[in-house]
Structure 1
Amino acid sequence: MYLGLDLGTSGVKALLIDGDQKVIGSGHGDLDVSRPHSGWSEQDPADWIRAAEEAVGELKAQHGVELAAVKGIGLSGQMHGATLLDERDQVLRPCILWNDTRSHAEAAKLDADPRFRKITGNIVFPGFTAPKLAWVKNNEPAVFDKVRWVLLPKDYLRLWLTGEHMSEMSDSAGTAWLDVAARKWSQELLAATDLEEQQVPSLVEGTEQAGSLRSELASRWGMNDGVAVAGGAGDNAASACGMGTVRPGHAFVSLGTSGVLFAANGSYLPNPESAVHTFCHALPNAWHQMGVILSATDSLNWLSEITGKEASDLTGELGEALKAPTGVTFLPYLSGERTPHNDAAIRGVFAGLGHESSRAVLTQAVVEGVAFAFRDSQHALHQAGTELGRVTAIGGGSRSRYWLKAIATALQIPVDIPADGDFGAAFGAARLGLIAAENADPYEVCIAPATAETIEPDAKVGDAYAHAYERYRALYPAIKGVS
């Protein structure tokens, strides 16, 4: 048996698979996000441990015998978070999360240093870890002076699981401290934020072992001593492992809290000017590119809170057939945007509202706005040298066929829906646990699921979507000056 632990923004998921990669069961623990100021987003790392305990505890209650047979554990996690520990491994402040944009000034200053783009292959985005440390030094110097360790969220869970300060390439590539081509920390970039290499964890590949489960936890969960804990992956690379998106030419679109257009690459292909992320993959000698939008299903969840209707009910009101855009346009920049704008200050907007703009019209505009944001990412990937022939849909939002039809039509490529099953980040993490425990071939383990259905672009509204996208594109520069 093999266990995947996925630390997301809204919860921790524990997924148990057997040697044939059949899902045995899952457990979940909820998490909340604290937003004490505009643009801030934080979590208490103690809540991650509590949620992980709840998730594994649920698995133990339902599948205790199978859990006892676990040989390997893989980790997946939300990327970029700054988890700061002192010399006794005590948390110094709440973790600053991936969608926190307070460090936009620090990010701009670091990005102006040409060494960062040259070494990392990426723009220094405000959500990345390095500018957060610069912000802490500028605004909380007493905290900064006590920092002994900077860990990414999933690697804090690893510390709890194993006692080891370790990380892996895919997650670390999102810090702005990694030499992404060489797959190692850059002492030069760490020094630019007044840190030393001894303050960041040692690195392994995501498929390699990075510690063993502590005896205390093994005993509590009914497991044997010495269970291997894999390096794991950042959430998007883990999802790619779960989807089998590991070979060049394979791609997926993720409709989660944030949105990701992810393409696997067999070589390092940076193009930071396009605002595309170029990161190490979780597998050795592999990389990936992705366009990232900060508010995907979060945009619909926001509308759900405003209207008092469940998100699924809102999309249900749209019906089955894809509608031509109404003239109401939504920019999904509720917490700024990454690809293609790299703008932490921009905020969302509805344009074209009239007396006739019903709740359904607003929902349709939100769905289209997110689809057009993916179109922006597709264009950015094109500029970075990556062409997408088709994508596979994953994430909670992919349950909406209407949304997938909108994405297929906006991108003008087919969208594949995988056969029933759980192929997300937790499944990818479990696969990495299997590979590390058994020294298995990653490409034999990380195969793609069967396709249950393919959604083609809707030719009937293709031209209308193209015109609506041009209107969408024109809005950003129009509101940037007043935002």
Structure 2
Amino acid sequence: MSSEFLQDGPLVVALDSSTTSTKAIVVDAAGNVWHTAKRNIQLHTPAMDEYEHTASRWWETSRDTIAEVLSKLSTQDKDRVKAIGITHQRESFAPFTTDGTPLRRGILWLDSRAASQIERYGSAHIHELSGKPAGVTPALYKMIWVKENEPGVLEGADKVTDVLAYITFNLTGRWAASTASADSLGILDIKRFDYADELLDIAGLRRDQMPDLVPPGSVMGTLKPELASEWGISASTPIISGLGDGQAAGVGAAAVTPDVAYLNLGTAVNAGVASHDYVYDPVFRTLVGGVPGDFVFEVVQSSGSYLAGWFRETLGDPKLLGEPDPELDAAASEIPPGCEGLITLPYWNAVQSPYWDAIARGAVVGWRGTHSRAHMYRSILESIGFEMKLNLESIEAGTGTKITTLRAMGGGTRSELWRQIMADTAGVPITLCAEDEISALGAAVVAMAGIGAHGSGGVEQSAREMAHFGITVEPNMDLHEQYREVARVQRKLYPQLKDTFQELYQLAEKYPSSRPESPQAEL
């Protein structure tokens, strides 16, 4: 055990149930991660644009990872475990019976089956009420899809919940969710921190189907005695109300003021800042923050490291199975910025910020015979940077505060090429977070604040005490100016192709593909 680990004081277990896996960590009050455990979750794609999980895996993987990290502690250190905190993949949901049996697979945040529902129901009023622009991520529109296409599934459910509430039920026996987790479903009146009856009605839901709402950092319940006995920790261990993984990443990075943004280079790329005031905007989505009473302004781009991975798997070295390719990175590093006239529109999974168009598609424009795989790969990375710069400018307009630092996390930060491109396109220094499981660390911060581990300073104080950082990537401002010219051209593509995307969507609806997998199989 490292000598830096605190040998006294509280420990917390933090859980992060994400799109591809569930992770658990044990953390001390200085933010040192003692142990980690991970279990993968299979991603099901029953049809084009449909992404699902077997919902029971949310709990099974949580149970197993918590058991594993606790098994690595001595009996004495198990006595120091004072809380369990949770973060989760946002917007994903499933219907359940009272005893927690899933009634269908969980529908995930990146699922874009509800394009028709978004077009028919999306409105400025719903945006203002929920804080969420109409798009593929809020669960509201996919709930409407289920109501219209699978009659009886939602109506017959005892509970319809996000991932965090289902895990909480299995830990405590209480159906409860955090306002900072359930908010991402898009069915809350965000300014009131409560469910909106109007939105529940649109989704085909009832209040009695909803879990109780608890502010982040508050106790949702105590651990079931049988789990406490099995894991060797106190039966009075509180389960602390957590938050969605995006907000949690910001808390783990101590991005708790409007001038410091978090930048998550994960499956999706998102960035956000904290705000004391509620604002809704066409570009960013407004979320309930990890600090009780606060909000987060967040931009999201679905095609993040997913898109880089797609390229490597589809067009890269087949022996690497989509894993990072140092040779490809090296070749792309030799390509000049702007990729000699090759520009990408990175909307492989539709587009969220800034256009929120569920039927948008990707495009690569400017091909010449002299372009190579390395040109396209670099163009993809640059395009994500161009989109992020545009989105960050909108956040700054919403807060009235200039962003001076980006604190980055996620698998994409391991690419020296990509993180430099992101710094150069943004024109802002990027400081890397030292902890890999940054969302889990954010849940640990909220849990520590919930038990008063750092005094009365709340989540902000706990975040500053527990965050750790690595190198800072400085932007090349000469390249930044060059990228601004390329970005001006790139930003013309979506308006010019919008009608084309509509025609392609209509053709896809007219001639749908068939897939052998049924969405009702293997609950």
After TM superposition, the score normalised by the length of structure 1 is: 0.93
Between the aligned partners of 1:15 and 1:411, the Cα distance in structure 2 is 32
Give the Å deviation of 1:357: 2.2
Q: What are the within-5 Å matches in structure 2 for residues 203-214 of structure 1?
A: 203-214=213-224
Deviation at 1:322, TM superposition (A): 8.3
Runs (5+) with no aligned partner, structure 2:
1-10, 502-523
In structure 1, what is the equivalent of residue 265 of structure 2?
255
Q: Distance in 1 between matches of 2:300 and 2:403?
A: 15
| Distance change in 2, residues 1:314/1:69 (3 Å) | farther
Alpha-carbon offset, residue 435 of structure 1: 2.2
Amino acid corresponding to residue 244 of structure 1 in structure 2: A
Offset at 1:442?
Answer: 2.1
2:347 corresponding residue in structure 1: 333
Aligned to 2:48: 38
* Aligned amino acid, residue 481 of structure 1: D
Deviation (angstroms), 1:315: 5.4
| Alignment match, 2:33 | 23
Q: Is the 8 A contact 1:208 1:230 kept in 2?
A: yes
Counterpart residue number, 1:400: 415
* SS of 1:233 mapped into structure 2: strand
Seq. identity, %: 24
**Offset at 1:157?**
1.2
Structure 1 residues 421, 117: closer, same or farther in 2, change over 3 A?
A: closer
Distance 1:371 1:20 in 2: 33
Partner Cα distance (1:305, 1:422) in 2: 23
> CA 1:22–1:88 in 2, change beyond 3 Å: closer, same or farther?
closer
Aligned to 1:90: 101
SS in 1 for 2:263: strand
Describe the SS at the equivalent of 2:29: coil
2:305 matched to which residue of 1?
A: 297
Seen in structure 2, the aligned counterparts of structure 1 residues 226 and 468 have a Cα distance that, compared at 3 Å, is same
Task: Give the corresponding residue for 2:285.
Answer: 277
**SS of equivalent to 2:86:** strand
C-alpha contact (below 8 Å) 1:82/1:96 kept by paired residues: yes
Question: 1:28-427, aligned counterparts within 5 Å?
Answer: 28-65=38-75, 66-67=77-78, 69-112=80-123, 114-271=124-281, 273-274=282-283, 276-306=284-314, 307=316, 308=318, 309=320, 310-313=323-326, 316-318=329-331, 323-326=336-339, 327-386=341-400, 387-418=402-433, 420-422=434-436, 424-427=438-441
Among 430, 434, 446, the alignment partner of 2:463 is 446
For residue 281 of structure 1, what is the amino acid of its counterpart? G
SS at the partner of 1:34? coil
Contact 1:104 1:344 in 2 (8 A): yes
Q: Deviations over 1:414-436 (max 9, x none)?
A: 21224x33461101111222222
Counterpart amino acid of residue 485 in structure 2 = H
* 1:476 aligns with one of 494, 510, 518: 494
For the 8 Å contact 1:339–1:376, the answer to whether it is kept is: no
**Tell me, what secondary structure is at the counterpart of 1:446?**
helix
Alpha-carbon distance in structure 1 between the residues aligned to 2:461 and 2:414: 28
Aligned residues: 479
Tell me, yes or no, if the aligned pair for 1:84 and 1:91 is still in contact at 8 Å. yes
Moved more, 341-350 or 119-128: 119-128
- 1:425-440 alignment, distance < 5 Å: 425-438=439-452, 440=455
Structure 1: runs of 5+ lacking an equivalent: none
In 2, Cα distance between the equivalents of 1:45 and 1:332? Answer: 30
1:189 is matched by which residue type in structure 2? L
Provide the C-alpha distance between the structure 2 equivalents of 1:365 and 1:68, rounded to a whole number of angstroms: 52
In the superposition, relative to structure 1, how do residues 383 and 437 fare at CA in structure 2: closer, same or farther (>3 Å)?
Answer: closer
Cα deviation 1:365-413 (Å, max 9, x = unaligned): 1211111121231233244345322211111111222212111111122
Q: Report the CA distance shift for 1:406/1:253 in structure 2 as closer, same or farther (over 3 A).
A: same
Conserved? CA contact 2:117–2:144, under 8 Å: yes
Deviates more, 1:378-387 or 1:145-154: 378-387
Cα deviation for residue 97 of structure 1 reads 0.4
Contact 1:331 1:472 in 2 (8 A): yes
Tell me the residue number matched to 2:14: 4
Determine the C-alpha separation between the residues in 1 that align with 2:432 and 2:336: 21
